Amino acid sequence: MLDAVQIVVALFAMMSVGYVLAAKGWIDEQVAVFISKVIVNFGVPAAALDNMLHNFDRAMLGEALLAALVVFGAILLCLLLGRGIAALFHVQQGRKGIFTVMVGCANTIFIGLPVCQALFGEDAASYVLIYDMAHSLIFWTLGVYLMSRDGSEKQPFFSGKTLKKLLSPGLLGLLAAILLVLLEVKLPIFAEKTFKYFGGLCTPLALIYVGYVLYRTGWKNMRLNKDMLLAILGRVVLAPAVFYLVTRLVRLPAELSMVFVTIAAMPVMNNTPIVAGEYGSDKAFGSQCLALTMILSLLTMPLLMLIFNGLY
Q: Which domains are present in the chain?
A: 2-307 (1.20.1530.20)
Scored b (16 or more CB within 10 A) or e, 34-70 reads ebbebbbebbbbbbbbbbbbebbeeeeeeebeebbeb
pLDDT digits (tens, 9 = 90+) for 191-235: 999 998 998 887 788 778 878 877 887 776 667 889 999 999 999
Return all residues near 23 (Cβ < 8 A) that are at least 6 apart. 215
Terminal Cα distance for the chain, rounded: 15
Cα–Cα dist 244/240, whole Å = 6
Q: What share of the chain is helix, strand, coil (3-state, %, to 5)?
A: 80, 0, 20
Half-sphere exposure of 213 (CA within 13 A, CB side): 31
**Other beta carbons within 10 Å of 218:** 11
Task: Pick the more confident residue, 279 or 179.
Answer: 179
Residue 89: its pLDDT value, please? 95
Question: Measured at the alpha carbon of residue 285, what is the angle toward residues 279 and 287, in degrees to the nearest 5?
Answer: 90
Of the chain, the percentage scoring pLDDT greater than 90 comes to 32
Look at the pTM and tell me if it is higher than 0.85. Answer: no
| Contact assessment for residue 266 and residue 108, using Cβ atoms and an 8 Å cutoff | yes
Among residues 73, 27, 98, which one has the least CA distance to residue 242? Answer: 73
The answer, yes or no, to whether residue 28 has pLDDT greater than 80, is yes
pLDDT digits (tens, 9 = 90+) for 79-135: 999 999 999 999 998 899 999 999 999 988 878 888 888 888 877 888 888 898 888
Cα–Cα dist 226/11, whole Å = 29
| Contact assessment for residue 150 and residue 227, using Cβ atoms and an 8 Å cutoff | no
